[in-house]
């Protein structure tokens, strides 16, 4: 009986050690904050372009890749930022925000609420476009909730004034933006919540990681994520070991919502 008891205890210890969660590498300042300081006098948006998790012998590394959008003479300029290590919490906070703005400054106001590209500064801004009435539009998304907005909002679509290819790519190629959709965004944003659009019957959303657009156009990300499913599953587990010896400094608490200057 004692041998059986010791065998069970030993097996539990071995299993626990083999499945222990590795600590994560931390950074003293998030790369997005560094970009915010770098573009101190410029309006810009940081778009989350890719995510990945690397496993080292003793720790995990969480990484983001960004695109920085700036507006010059009614044309969007896009600067690619290579892979940067981010804190685990920041990575977790933004796992649903692929292809969305996660930090931006426009008209002197900083936003750290994840949002579809352009919703906070281009769409709804008469400087960049206007709402136009659309009748019998076959491209209109069918899953809008008519109880939350009027039919007139469903039939009003945003049209940008810009002729810049980049502007059109970021603003309109992903889907047509209707006034009811924009109103939903404003409601969420004013409450400090990210906006992903309507949820479909299949469980997908209009914007972000869980959208059909991202699953179709970022196949490399989803293939990589599927191949590293165990690493992503461990994103929600806590390590009992300190990660301070892998850090470049103290950990920075990320803010996926709210405002600041």
Q: Is the dihedral of CA 63, 90, 101, 219 positive or negative?
A: positive
Q: 3-class secondary structure for 153-170?
A: HHCEEEEECCCCHHHHHH
- Tens-level pLDDT at each residue, the chain (261 residues): 655 555 555 554 444 444 567 899 999 999 999 999 999 889 999 999 999 999 999 999 999 999 999 988 777 889 999 999 999 999 999 999 999 999 999 988 999 999 999 999 888 888 888 899 987 545 444 444 444 444 555 678 888 877 666 666 666 445 678 899 899 999 999 999 999 998 888 889 999 999 988 999 899 999 999 999 989 988 877 543 434 444 443 333 333 333 333
For the chain, the domains span: 36-260
Cα 161 to Cα 168: distance, rounded to the nearest angstrom: 10
Tokens standing for 75?
């044309």
């Amino acid at each position: 009986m004692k041998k059986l008891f010791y065998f069970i205890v030993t097996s539990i210890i071995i299993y626990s050690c083999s499945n222990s969660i590795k600590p994560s590498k931390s950074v003293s300042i998030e790369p997005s904050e560094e970009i915010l300081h770098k573009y101190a006098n410029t309006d810009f948006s940081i778009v989350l372009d890719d995510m990945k998790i690397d496993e080292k012998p003793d720790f995990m590394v969480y990484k983001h890749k960004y695109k920085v959008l700036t507006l010059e003479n009614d044309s969007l300029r896009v600067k690619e930022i290579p892979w940067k290590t981010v804190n685990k919490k920041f990575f977790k906070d933004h796992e649903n925000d692929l292809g969305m703005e996660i930090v931006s400054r426009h008209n002197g106001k900083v936003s750290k609420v994840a949002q579809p590209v352009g919703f906070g500064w281009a769409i709804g801004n008469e400087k960049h476009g206007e709402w136009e009435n659309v009748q019998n539009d076959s491209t209109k998304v069918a899953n809008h909730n008519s109880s939350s907005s009027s039919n007139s909002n469903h039939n009003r679509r945003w049209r940008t004034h810009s002729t810049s290819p980049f502007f059109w790519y970021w603003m309109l190629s992903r889907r047509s933006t209707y006034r009811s959709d924009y109103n939903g965004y404003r409601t969420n944003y004013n409450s400090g919540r990210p906006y992903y659009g309507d949820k479909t019957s299949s469980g997908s959303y209009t914007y972000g990681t869980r959208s059909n657009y991202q699953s179709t156009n970022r196949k490399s990300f989803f293939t990589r994520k599927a191949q590293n499913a165990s690493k992503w599953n461990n994103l929600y587990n806590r390590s009992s070991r300190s990660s301070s010896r892998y850090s470049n400094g103290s950990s920075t608490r990320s803010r996926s919502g709210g405002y600041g200057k």
